[in-house]
Structure 1
Amino acid sequence: MTSSKIDTVIIGAGHAGLCMSYTLQQENRTHVVLEKHVTLYQWKNHRWDSFKLNTPLKYSRISGQNDGQPDDRNSIPLSENIAMWEHTIQQHSFPIKEYCDVTAVVKNADGTFLVQFKENGNVESSYRARNVIAACGFYQNIKIPNFSKNLPSTILQLDVKSYKNPDQTKGSVLVVGSGQSGIQIAEELAVSGKNVYLATSAVGGTIRSYRGEDAFFWMDRIRMLTMPTTSLPTEEMRYNKNAFTGNDHPISYYSLYKLGVNLTGGLTYINTNGDDLFFKNNLQENIAVAQQKYDLLLEKIEAWIQNENKHNYYLPPTQELEWVPNTQLLAYEPPTILHLKECDIQTVIWTTGWTADFSWIKIPSILADLGATHLPKTCVTKIPGFFWLGFPWLRTLSSANVGGFDEDAKAIANLLL
């Protein structure tokens, strides 16, 4: 095994790792970025064909990106965003080593770290580093319930990695999970003419725009994006799911219902014969959760306008049509059991989240300090020189978003050994 000394190793060449690399370049710190696959792998391989970022350009740039375009440009095709990011990577010559699978990070007796990895699948190499920054994200393993195995082999099962477009599906489609991905995929399928069932979950909704401004500009202005973790009362609140919306328009349960999407409560079980799907009787609760978070953001915006006396600075308030409550839906009680054959469900798409793989971390105290959802709680750890970047609520609401990586990277840079 070959081994080299270096100041800092960054693990992961996604947005977070690239922002960290840029920050270290500005400070003339020698470092390397180790990437298991290719740079920006998730963006290039695990998105559906029509995918677009939900964030305006201002909140989609990586550190050092100079594209000459307006901050408020949104609904940019993913391929165009990737092209801008790759131009930035080439412009700054980030020290990235692709196809380097980190297999172990060990703490040495002298306080340094031994970072072991396999290069190009078989060549074992290592770095001896003063600092290690884990910017690997938490999108390693799709979270799919065990009862998915009860589905007949004739049922096409997809997930957020493998779904690409409606033509890929057959028969009626059940989408499980109504987070950001699930609700956008369900809408796309319904617009394409598919008969869609959506097993909902307790996820908040949010505005797409209000008083002529995008939601992200409002959340930035009222300091939601920079809200520190210390202001959150409980561990549960810290890992609250991101609210859902469309990439260039609002989406709600009301708008999906108008499109003909069959809404249900959460999926709880599939019988061993694979014939019947069992659901919670909680659709109305999930609709209420989405509405409450949506309304809360509007209240915070209006309170800020009132406190700052900015009534004349923005367009008058109007209601997004997609969020006009539908009385028929609010009175609807969906069935708690569906029969696959009767509903002609031939495709199931799992949008039920991800789990992180930290098996390469061989320092028990770091793993022992993870939060309830097996994710890090802050950028710093109890081990000097080991840091987290790119995970939810490390410092602020933006800690898991491209727009917040830059500030977290700067904070980490000030703490490096």
Structure 2
Amino acid sequence: MSRSSAAAREIDTLVIGAGQAGLATSYWLSRAGVEHLLLEQRPELGGAWQDRWDSFYLNTPNFAFLLPGMTYDGPEPDAFLPRDGVIELFREYARRIAAPVRVGTEVSRVARADGGTTAGSGFAVDTSQGNWLARNVVLANGAYQRPRIPPSAAKLPRHITQQHSHDYRNPAQLPEGAVLVVGTGQSGGQISEDLLDAGREVHLSVSACPEAPRRYRGQDMFYWLLEVNLHGPEYGINGLQAAALASPAARFMCNPLISGNAGGHSIRLRDLGRRGVRLHGHYEGTDDGAITFSDDLAARIALTESAFGQRMQVMLDSYILSAGIEAPVAESVPPVDWQPSGSGARLDLGAEGVTSVIWSTGYGLDFGFLDIPVLDEWNYPRHFRGVTEVPGLYAVGLPWLTKHASSTVAAVGMDAEYVAGHLAGR
């Protein structure tokens, strides 16, 4: 046992992270009578929602707020919460369940307490507020920890302001001039709209994230997605279960291009183009003051438009049919009369007056503190239903932990319940 471990405080279970996954786990651990403490590196509760921009609205409707012990019971189940409302709701949840949280505590190392020689012997956990010995550790630090920025960003001219979407708050942060947004996931699409609403000139690099209708067959899109997540296997429809993924890489595929702003709506690339956004292909790199993109813009837009109908729509329709649900026929999507001009394969930053680049290029998992060989080639813990191959080490709240919605407020509580039950049974 190390010198630091000898002086450490002892506890049954440490939960790393006090966002939705950590709080849901705390709920079930308390009900099982398990002594535990949540360690949160941020100075205040509210999780990664505190890292969103000022105009952000939750993309899932209020009815999908299904944390154990607290669900949305307000007058607008089909509406969407703004960022500050989401943060306050999580703080209220922590108060309601009396979660034992220590904020401002960053975990720097988690290792086997005995160096890994004895199964189930516990863990040495080093933090900015002292060290611990824990019988169990739950990794609940989420999927939005390490912003991804391509290495070639370092080659951009120094006068160009660069931000990841993680740090973007509002257009006033940026210098005057045009803005390039790289990536058309939900963040890229919504930030582009935020900039447009502020009257900024916007360039947008298109990735492969699919467009989708905000509402489908009489319900919000997330209603059907949640139904298939939770009940699809009952009818032989397993497309949103982790076991059905074709590749481990699919755990990180982007979500449909929709928004909770303005009452909820879908984001369509052609509509952004019609409103004045200059669309470009996939970001490839920098070249002497210019940025290069893939020369396939028209095909790329067509791909994003067709993806929903090719896979997701078929799955949702099959579920509705198999479950015997009476639902109206699919709504027709009116075409947008706009075509890209040119290939959008090169952007001269100086000539086009671009002064800022926002990297909406997603996040990577961050388990840099984990000194235990339990991660796969994708930096994802090897596990079954959140129970890793190392006795006493668990994971909750990761994308596709057990299903597509595992990291959302609608389904994280289910995985947390299983993990807490397994942990208590030890």
Contact 1:172 1:343 (8 Å CA) reproduced = yes
Structure-2 residue corresponding to 1:358: 367
1:149 and 1:308 map into 2 onto residues whose CA distance is 52
Give the counterpart of 1:410 among 403, 417, 420: 417
Q: Does 1:209 align with 2:207?
A: no
1:407 and 1:71 map into 2 onto residues whose CA distance is 24
Tell me by how many angstroms 1:60 deviates.
3.0
Structure-2 residue corresponding to 1:241: 254
Contact 1:376 1:391 (8 Å CA) reproduced = no
Q: Which amino acid aligns with 2:244?
A: S
Structure-1 residue corresponding to 2:165: 160
Structure-1 residue corresponding to 2:49: 43
2:360 and 2:182 map into 1 onto residues whose CA distance is 6
Structure-1 residue corresponding to 2:90: 85
Structure-2 residue corresponding to 1:317: 330
- After TM superposition, the structure 1 = structure 2 runs for residues 90-129 of structure 1, keeping only pairs within 5 Å, are 90-109=95-114, 110=118, 111-119=120-128, 123-126=129-132, 128-129=133-134
2:231 and 2:396 map into 1 onto residues whose CA distance is 16
Q: Does 1:263 align with 2:279?
A: yes
Give the counterpart of 1:135 among 135, 140, 151: 140
1:229 and 1:222 map into 2 onto residues whose CA distance is 13
Contact 1:176 1:351 (8 Å CA) reproduced = yes
Contact 1:175 1:350 (8 Å CA) reproduced = yes
Using the size of structure 2 for normalisation, the TM-score is: 0.87
Q: Which amino acid aligns with 1:203?
A: C
Tell me by how many angstroms 1:71 deviates.
7.4
Q: Which amino acid aligns with 2:147?
A: I
Tell me by how many angstroms 1:326 deviates.
4.2
Q: Which amino acid aligns with 2:396?
A: L
Give the counterpart of 2:37 among 32, 40, 43: 32
Structure-2 residue corresponding to 1:386: 393
Structure-1 residue corresponding to 2:150: 145
Closer, same or farther in 2 for the Cα pair 1:27/1:153, shift >3 Å?
Answer: same
String of CA shifts for 1:77-133, please: whole Å, max 9, x gaps.
1212222221121122101011111121121345332332334xxx4322x222111
Structure-1 residue corresponding to 2:339: 328
Q: Which amino acid aligns with 2:312?
A: L
Q: Does 1:344 align with 2:356?
A: no
1:145 and 1:220 map into 2 onto residues whose CA distance is 33
String of CA shifts for 1:161-216, please: whole Å, max 9, x gaps.
22111222320110011111011111221232211100111112222112321111
1:3 and 1:285 map into 2 onto residues whose CA distance is 58
Tell me by how many angstroms 1:26 deviates.
1.3
> CA RMSD, aligned part only?
2.2
1:229 and 1:345 map into 2 onto residues whose CA distance is 41
1:196 and 1:355 map into 2 onto residues whose CA distance is 26
Contact 2:286 2:292 (8 Å CA) reproduced = yes
* Greater displacement, 227-236 / 178-187: 227-236
Contact 1:7 1:129 (8 Å CA) reproduced = yes
Gapped runs of 5+ residues in structure 1? none
Structure-2 residue corresponding to 1:290: 304
The DSSP-based 3-state class of the residue aligned with 2:14 is: strand
1:173 and 1:279 map into 2 onto residues whose CA distance is 16
Q: Which amino acid aligns with 1:255?
A: D
Q: Which amino acid aligns with 1:289?
A: L
Aligned residues, how many?
400
Tell me by how many angstroms 1:63 deviates.
2.6
Contact 1:377 1:394 (8 Å CA) reproduced = no
Closer, same or farther in 2 for the Cα pair 1:30/1:220, shift >3 Å?
Answer: same
Contact 2:184 2:206 (8 Å CA) reproduced = yes
Contact 2:49 2:86 (8 Å CA) reproduced = no
Tell me by how many angstroms 1:249 deviates.
0.7
Tell me by how many angstroms 1:55 deviates.
0.3
Closer, same or farther in 2 for the Cα pair 1:347/1:385, shift >3 Å?
Answer: same
Closer, same or farther in 2 for the Cα pair 1:225/1:57, shift >3 Å?
Answer: farther
The DSSP-based 3-state class of the residue aligned with 2:81 is: coil
Q: Which amino acid aligns with 1:298?
A: Q
The DSSP-based 3-state class of the residue aligned with 1:52 is: coil
Contact 1:203 1:286 (8 Å CA) reproduced = no
Tell me by how many angstroms 1:308 deviates.
4.4
Tell me by how many angstroms 1:262 deviates.
0.8
Contact 2:270 2:338 (8 Å CA) reproduced = no
Using the size of structure 1 for normalisation, the TM-score is: 0.89
Q: Which amino acid aligns with 1:254?
A: R
1:91 and 1:360 map into 2 onto residues whose CA distance is 30
Gapped runs of 5+ residues in structure 2? 233-239
1:380 and 1:66 map into 2 onto residues whose CA distance is 26
Contact 1:199 1:267 (8 Å CA) reproduced = yes
Structure-1 residue corresponding to 2:236: none
The DSSP-based 3-state class of the residue aligned with 2:212 is: coil
Tell me by how many angstroms 1:395 deviates.
0.7
Contact 1:225 1:398 (8 Å CA) reproduced = no
